[in-house]
Amino acid sequence: RTVYVNGDYLPEDQATVSVFDRGFLMADGVYEVVSVLDGKLLDFDGHLVRLKRSLDELSMDNPLSDDDYLAAFRALVERNGITDGMIYLQVTRGNPGDRDFAYPPAGTRPTVVMFTQSKPGLADAPAAKTGWKIISIPDQRWARRDIKTVQLLYPSMAKMEAKARGVDDAWLVEDGLVTEGTSNNTYIVKNGTIVTRALSNDILHGITRAAVLRFAAEAQMQVEERSFTIAEAQAADEAFITSASAFVMPVVEIDGAAVGTGQVGPVATRLREIYLEESRKAAI
Ligand code: PLP
């Protein structure tokens, strides 16, 4: 596999980053995941807008132009022969020389890493037909979840807890209300109304969330942006999650209780279809 490091395209076993990089020492960096379908990039503009916001919130300079990112993404897709899969982009604050809590002086070059992961048949995941089972666990992450940092230890712990309990993912709960999934935004459907938590610093502002809510409104579906409890989710007609790599994924069981009929429901199914169709059309 060819990967990108600071402007160079290298075989993955020759790509290196300093041990002093603040991304490595302090999780001082941000990332984006962009899906590739039929060799094209989904929601590229949205992901770049969020990348720039994340960098801004951490007072990091954006090291590349939009055109540079696009060219690099396309070069990686091409060189690695990616039809379906994803591109991972990470920008860390770079190597200041010494470990220090204070940010390094302006002019320290950020480290930019990009790589691809091939996922043939990504859009036809069998799980979309059967749905995910999830558990709920306390949300013990930091309070700036709107910044897409590489500090992913708690979501990893949550994912491991889910695996240990034989389910697909965990929904995180704070003050009795669902924030989001380990790596996705969460929704319930009751009497035809789609409910999802409003944007704030408590959750990541999902690019797929924005697209799905836009498509839902265009399809005249009712949407309410508000928080909900696990009990409300268990009593809902449907539940689902969205993310750049899972698209729209139904959730059929929460903490052992079936949601609705326990089968994948019509709203999640329809939204997945619309999302995939519209995103493919708009892909670049
Ligand atoms: N919430 C969290 C915590 C995430 O990590 C992600 C994606 O990785 C999302 C939500 C969904 O965001 P997007 O739709 O932009 O992939």
* CATH code (residue 139): 3.20.10.10
The reply to whether 141 and 261 lie within a common domain is yes
Query: Which residue's CA lies nearest to atom 7 of ligand 1?
Result: 183
Final residue of a domain: which of 120, 141, 163?
Answer: 120
In this structure, are residues 36 and 43 in contact, taking their beta carbons and an 8 Å threshold? no
Domain ranges, residue 24: 2-120
The reply to whether 116 and 227 lie within a common domain is no
The reply to whether 169 and 114 lie within a common domain is no
The reply to whether 83 and 149 lie within a common domain is no
The reply to whether 52 and 77 lie within a common domain is yes
Residue to mutate, 243, 245, 249, 271, ligand 1, most ligand atoms under 8 Å from C-beta:
243
The reply to whether 161 and 38 lie within a common domain is no
The reply to whether 162 and 221 lie within a common domain is yes
The reply to whether 133 and 271 lie within a common domain is yes
Instruction: Give me the number of domains the chain comprises.
Output: 2
The reply to whether 208 and 166 lie within a common domain is yes
Cβ of 279 closer than 6 Å to ligand 1, yes or no, is no
| Position in ligand 1 atom list of the atom nearest CA 244 | 16
The reply to whether 69 and 147 lie within a common domain is no
For the segment 135-194, what is each residue's pLDDT rounded down to a tens digit? 999 999 999 999 999 999 999 999 999 999 999 999 999 999 999 999 999 999 999 999
| Position in ligand 1 atom list of the atom nearest CA 182 | 3
For the segment 100-147, what is each residue's pLDDT rounded down to a tens digit? 999 998 888 999 999 999 999 999 999 999 999 999 999 999 999 999
Determine whether 119 is an active site residue: no
Q: Output the average pLDDT for the chain.
A: 97
CA–centroid distance, residue 33 to ligand 1 (Å)? 9
Rg, C-alpha atoms of the chain: 19
Final residue of a domain: which of 64, 92, 120?
Answer: 120
The reply to whether 102 and 68 lie within a common domain is yes
Final residue of a domain: which of 88, 120, 152?
Answer: 120
Query: Which residue's CA lies nearest to atom 5 of ligand 1?
Result: 183
pTM over the 0.90 mark = yes
CA–centroid distance, residue 97 to ligand 1 (Å)? 32
Query: Which residue's CA lies nearest to atom 12 of ligand 1?
Result: 206
Cα 243 to Cα 72, 128, 182, distances in angstroms = 23, 13, 10
First to last CA, the chain: 22
